[in-house]
Amino acid sequence: MHTVSQKSIVILILILLLCTGLFAQVATIEYLEGWVDIKRPNGDTVEALIGDALFKDDTVITGDDGTATLTKDDQAEIIISPNSVFSIREIDSGGEKETVMHTALGSIKFKFLRLFGREPKISTPSTVAGVRGTEFTVYAGDEGSALFTVDSGEVIVTSQGVPVVLVEDEGVEVKAGRAPGAKFELKGRPIDYSAWNSEKQQEFSADPIQGLLGIERQMEEYIREVENLKENFQSSLEDIKEGRNEYQKIKQESGDDAATNFYQDNVVPIETEAGALNQNLRYFILSAYSLDRYVLGKQYLNTKAYELTKKISKAEAQEIYSIINRISESFWSAADTYIGAFDI
């Protein structure tokens, strides 16, 4: 079990590591109303203003009366509803940067004006979707469920390795740690996020243990990715260290030109690979953090409220707390392994 001081140290080190290479603008705030904040990767929170630039891994947070409209490279318009949490991340795929637009909580509408190159991905704490369409909405619930609805084009929603293809006027719901449900027709009816989110929370509260086990499956999936990437990352760092030692040796024995040629041919490719692995480690750590912070954190507070109002017994609450703590500790352990990757 982590103590508060241990967690504080882990958070501080993670912030320093996650801030590497963030300074590239990914979107602009074109319009806003009400309370809207931007949370930077270093932990600072600032009031959002029209015209503000957003950078990779910045998080936009709207309050009860807050809405914001973002534009990205004149290619997309992103409309963030009240009580939502949204960020733009990147992942390396085959040596190319791939944009991932993450809805941690709330309701986000996407309008793609045009698509160039690699198609962006859309994620929630428990799902990933590929975009081939122009207009769709993503809803992320307090208990980890996600709902995707498509107005035009095509969106492929994947969870637990199972894809579902949505086209115009179709939707699908996904519960945390489970495959997508059956897709359905919208028939022109709008989705009320507040009502949908309340319904999902009621379903979760009816059997919180099963709901938490689904969240745990999702967390385990993220942690497996982190562990695999961390092992490869450590191996790359060791190869880089050996290559740099060999570079120095060649420089002393054969001169600068021979050493430079060796470095370009043998070390630079490994450094590039290590950078991609680090990029993906950051992505999966942030995905796991989103699950821990916004889903588990919400369920912990809900359980406290249910216990105080006698909706559940103390024994039931303790069982729920135990599972929440188990899932959360698995995340912090994974965060520790990420930090450990830099120990050579």
- Give the tens place of pLDDT for each residue, 203-231: 999 999 999 999 999 999 999 999 899 88
DSSP code at position 160:
T
Calpha distance 102→278 (Å, rounded): 19
- Give the tens place of pLDDT for each residue, 52-105: 999 988 999 999 999 999 998 777 899 999 999 999 988 887 777 888 999 999
Q: How confident is the model at residue 119 (pLDDT cuts 50, 70, 90)?
A: confident
Calpha distance 242→270 (Å, rounded): 11
- pLDDT of residue 10 exceeding 50, the answer is no
What pTM did the predictor assign? 0.85
